[in-house]
Structure 1
């Protein structure tokens, strides 16, 4: 393992990544709702469905944007040859993460693996890395507002014209490279993490990462702004959908005519094709992909990050159980997906609680061990070395700051 440059890491950011990892694992293992017609009881959301669904993956994506901002100079930013070198290094990072995602796509799991989309988001972020804060803020607001509208208009066309089935129907894998147009349509529009809207999270993260995150004033500002965004988005969605008739309108559409729609609306809207009504864009439900969903989950991500930064700047040791796994999320996420594939393939009789807590404890233990030893995670070490080497070659000198 290569040594991890701990002095250059911000423990609060790693802790927030750890929370995202553990939250995503929870949504992969626990049901998002219980009951339903098949069980003869009313369907009700679970704790995982109400708390983690949509928010954990959004936190993961926002923190990716924060990481990109830090890789490109943080609050000061890099320009000129330094920025070109950063972009080259990030492109290599994206290709390698995408390769890991494509390999994991062949694992037999009922998990929507995020890594291919994550990699494409890195590539889509490249043009925005050199923007000044006001311009970046404008792009972020505009993208969050307009990308759901573009997706609403383009998704039916993609489903009707790109391929006979319209969607992959599974996680992207190496075999899907043979049908590139279907793969691209699924990654950008019809998949579980549509890049067209999810770029909003990366831009929010870039915006956050351009702040001086070690300053208490900026941490408090982030906490306040995140709270206002999260609460305001839900309040506006309630006004549109409950008081102005939006929910009744979408519930009457063809895709919503299913017995469990009411609970799905609360826990995971990616299971419903949102079409036939513009009212879908007023929802802040998890994975609905509308502007208010993007705003709410960006707000909750900002709140989690702000709290972690505030705690980390005062009681850093308290964050060790989260910061350890948060510093090697790619390795631990990949190991989690692989292990879930083993459990599925072999049909291991493990209860969900045992399955979650055994992996969570192992993730925390491994993270803290690697952190104490000054190591990176294995995948992080390989990708960081390749990225840093590329940056050095492009910059034309032996070492770059940041």
Structure 2
């Protein structure tokens, strides 16, 4: 059985001269002279996006620290039901939204400007991957039962690299590509999992990458907790949404309604296929190594650590971190709904969202600090206390740092490197 410490769910951002996947920046909302109303709308939009990131960060911290099940009933806890798998989906989705901002917003960059953008994303991917590889050896354990969290940072490098060819694709085509990866990613994983080399550690470090590059690559792309190919579903859908008018109330309401609808449809489809159409019996028949309780565990808690491939019916479940088509659709719908809700709340309650939005503006820093705190393993005896301590300190630090210095510490470093890269590619040409 997986547990509350088995499946983390972060994703992070840093800033450059325009909004990017790792930090806040002035809103790219309107042409010069559009007036204070448009500027205010853009500020609210960025507040809503950062608040959604802050919500995902809190969800991830809760999954890593708080119990996944009630010790008396053994039923999933409320925080597990709400956040398991969905926090990672929301982070990856919002990374796509921010990639859209950094590549031109509703009008993608072209020519030299797009080359500069792609170079900046490449540098960002390498820096975040390097940070993840540096942190991973500090995280104790190698198996699902031992580790306190699976670090998403190394996966993020793969996300960004794979997204580079899609930066100039239209929003409609991006949605189509997201649907394509939602199907082909899980199918490829199902077909190839038993033949692919297995990574020795769920949190590979640089030594693992060098010692067994084939296993590490398979782990990052298809067989890991956050496999890049299936996760392109979230990233490309977020990139498409970032090309829309996110400051408009119709778009915001549309995200909320369509997101909730997609999540409900995915959940209902899985329920029908598994419990009404004979899918559960097929799982039991074709997977004799698993008892009924063990199959239930996979559906509720996720794979331990990988989904069986004994029958195609496994692709009909929608449990956390199963990365099946329906699980991806459920995660995407939840992410769209969360973003729509945060954008709508920011229209009226932007000030009240400050703790969330401040944390969401520096998730690279806070997520890295969270992983280092988990590596001390002091949170197991008093999980609720340590959850409150970590979230409270994160909120206070984020608010104080943002008011005093702006970008978070790690966001500032990554953003500076990206900015220098863009300038080098642009040369004497002005950025649009």
Whether TM-score is above 0.5 comes out as yes
Matches within 5 A, 1:375-394: 375-394=406-425
| Residue of structure 2 equivalent to 1:126 | 164
Q: For residues 221-278 of structure 1, what are the alpha-carbon distances to aligned partners after superposition, in whole Å with 9 as ceiling and x for unaligned?
A: 1111111111111111111111111122224414533744424411323535321000
- Give the match for residue 196 of structure 1: 229
Structure having the larger proportion of residues in helix: 1
Whole-Å Cα distance in 2 between the matches of residues 105 and 43 of structure 1? 31
Aligned mates of 1:141, 1:98 — CA distance in 2: 26
Aligned residue among 352, 365, 380 for 1:318: 352
Offset at residue 34 of structure 1 (A):
4.2
1 CA distance for matches of 2:313 and 2:328? 16
Structure 1 contact 192–270 (Cα < 8 Å) conserved: no
Distance 1:341 1:350 in 2: 14
Structure 1 residues 48 and 248, CA gap change in structure 2 (3 angstroms): farther
Aligned counterpart in structure 2 of residue 215 of structure 1, from 233, 248, 263: 248
SS at match of 1:384: helix
Partner of 2:199: 167
Alignment-derived partner of residue 60 in structure 2: 24
Residue-by-residue CA offset, 1:160-217 (whole Å, 9 max, x unaligned): xx3xxx2223302111122211110111122111112111111111111111111111
Q: Give the Cα–Cα distance (whole angstroms) in 2 for the partners of residues 265 and 2 of structure 1.
A: 41
- Aligned: 1:11 with 2:31: no
**Partner SS state of residue 313, structure 1:** helix
Structure 1, residues 291-348: CA drift from partner, whole Å, max 9, x if none? 1110111000001101111111232112101000100000000000001112x2xx57
**Counterpart mapping for 1:177-256 below 5 A:** 177-178=209-210, 179-252=212-285, 253-254=287-288, 256=290
Question: Which of 121, 125, 145 is the matching residue for 1:90?
Answer: 121
Q: Alpha-carbon deviation of 1:374?
A: 4.3
Contact 1:43–1:263, Cα closer than 8 Å, also in 2 = no
Counterparts of 1:247-396 in structure 2 under 5 Å? 247-252=280-285, 253-254=287-288, 256-257=290-291, 259-269=293-303, 271-342=305-376, 344=377, 350-396=381-427
Q: Report the TM-score when normalising by structure 1.
A: 0.91
- TM-score (structure 2 length as normaliser): 0.85
Between 167-176 and 180-189, report the one with greater CA deviation: 167-176
CA–CA separation in structure 2 for the residues paired with 1:210 and 1:356: 36
Quickly say closer, same or farther: Cα 1:400–1:359, change in 2 above 3 A.
same
Does the CA-based 8 Å contact 2:112-2:426 persist in structure 1? yes
Aligned to 1:192, what secondary structure does the other structure show? coil
- The structure 1 residue matched to 2:97, chosen from 43, 58, 66, is 66
Counterpart of 1:50 (choices 81, 87, 90) is 81
Q: 1:201 to 1:138 in 2, by over 3 A?
A: same
CA RMSD of aligned residues (A): 2.1
Q: Which residue of 2 aligns with 1:38?
A: none
- In 2, Cα distance between equivalents of 1:248 and 1:289: 21
In the alignment, the residues of structure 2 paired with residue 379 and residue 322 of structure 1 have an alpha-carbon distance, to the nearest angstrom, of 18
Equivalent pairs, count: 387
